[in-house]
Structure 1
Amino acid sequence: ISSHFPVCVSVLYVLLMLLGIVGNVLTLLVVCLRPHMRSSSYLYLSSMAVSDLLILLLLPLDLYKLWRPRPWPFGDLLCKLTMFLSECCTFSSILHITFLSLERYLAVCWPIAAKALLTRRRTRLLIGCLWLAAAVSAAPVLIMVGVEDVDGEECGCTQWAVSSGLMSAMMVLSNVYFLVPFCILGLVYSLIGRTLWLRPQSGRRDQKHKNTVKMLGVIVLSFLLCWLPFHVGRTIFFSLSADAHLYLLYYLSQYLNLVSSVLFYLSAAINPLLYNLMSAPYRRAVYSLEDGRLPSPVGVKERE
């Protein structure tokens, strides 16, 4: 790979990390300090902000590996934990977007049932379950990766994981986690669109639903555009790494892998910007933080 390419990638990494950390911290502050922003939708989005922050905080280690893949000086435990957290946050973000969209489907298409089912307490419980499911799904990474001496100690997928088929199984799981939710999302947003845009009356509530669905639709689209190259690049990279006859394609896949990694971190950094562009309440809440008068979140009346 050309020496200029890692330099450009490194600059983008640093910019995305700074932008993403500031934006996601603002999202968490808005939800924590502004009671009216604690709707179930923003509870999901604040949990996604935690996931995005974890991904961005792991970025410096990825940047280190870009410039010095070996030797890995941080030990086997940190190697396993960083890979596990990255995969766990990836699964968690996909699950959050899927269940948030399903919640919007209930709110738009089945409003009476949604009023009874979609309480904040249940939303918080479901968010906890999503994190647990993501952690369980990513758990095989803890035995799949490690530090091995391959021309110097390197943090990555072990030879045992490759020979045992565990890596292939994990790649299948990762792709299923990507493809199945987006099939569900396509169906859900088709049904929501049909309900909203073909409904005879269009009151204030319908307009509010439309604005929320538009914002979520843009988030889902950006998620798809950022993560599709990542999944394709990673699949090609691991599939071709052992095939000497496809060396050129493997070499090109390294470029694709770097570009898709930038898009992966872009996905973690861009959501707060999308909220700011698409949601007037979010903009007002962010601007209100500047006056320094932060209301206490204690004692806020909630639907439990």
Structure 2
Amino acid sequence: MNGNNNFTLCPISDSYKRILLPLTYSLVFVLGLTLNGALLWVVCFRTRTWSCSVIYLTNLAVADLLYVLSLPLLIVSYAMDDVWPFGDIICKAVRFFFCANLHCSMMFLMCISVHRFLGVCYPITALRFRTKNLAVLTSVSVWVLVTLEISPTLVFSHTGLINNMTVCYEMTNPGQLYTYFPYDMFLDVVGFLVPFMIILICYCSMMRVLYRAGRDNSQVGTENLNKSIRTILAVCLMFVLCFVPYHIARIVYLFVRVYVSSNCRVINLVMIGYKIWKPLVSFNSCANPLLYFLVTYQKAMAVFSHEGNILTCRYVQQKGSPFKLTEGL
């Protein structure tokens, strides 16, 4: 392999992609467009007060929509056996939107986690940090940071020729993989590992506080406590299922492509694993609004007391408003 645009890769059995990826991406497109569109409609027309959580959630939905709207192009390409008929600029844009959605999702989920952590574990001290102005500033900073982080993908991603067919490289052409690998490791650490650890620490700390509050105060209902803990576990489970397998499979795949590039059998095995897990990370675009709709639809209020502080987690369904996004998110 070399850095030229016209080369032949070792034979890879990827015929499954013509069925698996178009089907899964079509499902993600329909569900993601519907759910995120509905979420933005609720936020814009049915939510009177924009809390910090609503601001973060709106940005998360926008990031999801940008990615979902690029899926029809990928669906067509995979259905045509990876042939890319849309040109180099669109190729770069599609890969950019995928990375933007992936990293924006991680960052905004981290922002929501930190916001909840401060409200539950430090309700008084955190008041000056839980302001809408700070949430807006943080959201703008996330978009700027993510754009800077993933801007090199506009250089690495491009079209090329494989067996006389125009393709859109998912990461970069094989001749640049050795250069791309360190950059991808940087993205995995900054855009995945760090937010992942912060989210886990925040939710584990919240579970500990809620458990102690329920144990130390007889007025706390066991049912409400269990609902709050189940919600936290659901968020963590969604995060782990959507992001962890994909990043592990991607790292292994890139490592094999760079350092075991002559072994086509190994490349085939890791590529199959990577391509199977890749659609799963796309489902986070559907899971984010679905999870929050399910949570906010419940007409429940849990009040927790710990060392004299009343901690509230509110999920309220109000009259005339099917879904009300509250500060308790």
TM-score, length of structure 2 as denominator length: 0.77
State whether residues 66 and 101 of structure 2, in contact with CA within 8 Å, keep that contact through their aligned partners in structure 1: yes
Q: Which amino acid aligns with 1:161?
A: Q
Larger helix share, 1 or 2: 1
Larger strand share, 1 or 2: 2
Alignment match, 1:293: none
C-alpha RMSD of the superposition: 3.2
In structure 1, distance between residues paired with 2:126 and 2:226: 16
Shift of 1:170: 2.2
Alignment match, 1:250: 267
Deviation larger for 236-245 or 258-267: 236-245
In structure 2, distance between residues paired with 1:224 and 1:286: 35
In structure 2, distance between residues paired with 1:210 and 1:118: 26
In structure 2, distance between residues paired with 1:112 and 1:283: 22
In structure 1, distance between residues paired with 2:319 and 2:265: 49
Deviation larger for 187-196 or 122-131: 187-196
Counterpart among 173, 183, 195 of residue 158 in structure 1: 173
Counterpart among 184, 192, 198 of residue 206 in structure 2: 192
Shift of 1:94: 0.6
Give unmatched runs, 5+ long, in structure 2.
1-12, 300-314
Shift of 1:257: 2.3
State whether residues 92 and 130 of structure 1, in contact with CA within 8 Å, keep that contact through their aligned partners in structure 2: yes
In structure 2, distance between residues paired with 1:209 and 1:117: 26
| Matching of residue 265 in structure 1 with residue 282 in structure 2 | yes
Deviating above 6 A after TM superposition, structure 1's stretches of 4 or more consecutive aligned residues are 207-210
State whether residues 76 and 146 of structure 1, in contact with CA within 8 Å, keep that contact through their aligned partners in structure 2: yes
Shift of 1:65: 3.0
Shift of 1:69: 5.3
Aligned pair count reads: 290
Q: Which amino acid aligns with 1:146?
A: H
| Matching of residue 62 in structure 1 with residue 74 in structure 2 | yes
Shift of 1:232: 2.1
| Matching of residue 225 in structure 1 with residue 238 in structure 2 | no
Q: Which amino acid aligns with 1:197?
A: Y
Shift of 1:64: 2.7
| Matching of residue 149 in structure 1 with residue 133 in structure 2 | no
Give unmatched runs, 5+ long, in structure 1.
291-301
Counterpart among 16, 41, 65 of residue 28 in structure 2: 16
> Secondary structure at 2:159's aligned position in 1?
strand
In structure 1, distance between residues paired with 2:201 and 2:282: 27
TM-score, length of structure 1 as denominator length: 0.82
In structure 2, distance between residues paired with 1:237 and 1:44: 32
Shift of 1:91: 0.9
State whether residues 40 and 119 of structure 1, in contact with CA within 8 Å, keep that contact through their aligned partners in structure 2: yes
Deviation larger for 218-227 or 47-56: 218-227
Alignment of 1:205-244 (within 5 A): 214-215=230-231, 217-241=233-257, 243-244=260-261
Percent identity of paired positions between Structure 1 and Structure 2: 26
> Secondary structure at 1:241's aligned position in 2?
helix
Deviation larger for 184-193 or 127-136: 184-193
In structure 1, distance between residues paired with 2:62 and 2:72: 17
In structure 1, distance between residues paired with 2:139 and 2:240: 21
Shift of 1:131: 1.0
Using CA pairs under 8 Å that are at least 6 residues apart, name the structure with larger relative contact order, 1 or 2. 1
In structure 2, distance between residues paired with 1:103 and 1:209: 19
In structure 1, distance between residues paired with 2:63 and 2:224: 27
Shift of 1:260: 1.2
**How big is each residue's C-alpha offset from its partner over 1:234-272, in whole Å with a ceiling of 9 and x where there is no partner?**
223322235355322211223222221220221111222
Shift of 1:22: 0.5
